[in-house]
Amino acid sequence: MKQYLNVITAYLIMFTLIILVGIFQSWSLALTILNYCLISAVMTIGANIQWGYAGLINFGIMGYTALGGLAVVLVSVAPVGEAWSVGGLNMMICLGVIIGIVFSIRLH
């Protein structure tokens, strides 16, 4: 029972801190923090199963984690119209140069 006392205490402290954030700041922020905690817990369980129990070292999982983080940012942040107009023609020129380089390498 004593070995679980530290775990129970840690959960109670975290729960209390989330409640205090909800009371003193906003419940939306508290739910966002709780959501990030749950996402991190699921990722940790997956990494523990793959690396800990199975003994597989797979660095590709971090790529998918990065894509998941990018998806969260793209979905949750409102688009800024001015950001799209900053690059404009320069972005298209850079994209054309990159595509040209790729095709020139492929043809050789």
C-alpha 33/C-alpha 36 separation (Å) is: 5
State mean pLDDT over 25-35: 91
Domain locations along the chain: 2-77, 82-108
Which band of pLDDT confidence, cut at 50, 70 and 90, is reported for residue 25? Answer: very high
Q: Return mean pLDDT, the chain.
A: 85
* 44-79: pLDDT as tens digits: 888 888 787 877 777 777 788 788 888 888 888 787
C-alpha 45/C-alpha 49 separation (Å) is: 6
Instruction: With beta carbons less than 8 A apart as the criterion, state whether 45 and 34 touch.
Output: no
pTM: 0.52
**Does the pLDDT value for residue 97 go beyond 90?**
yes
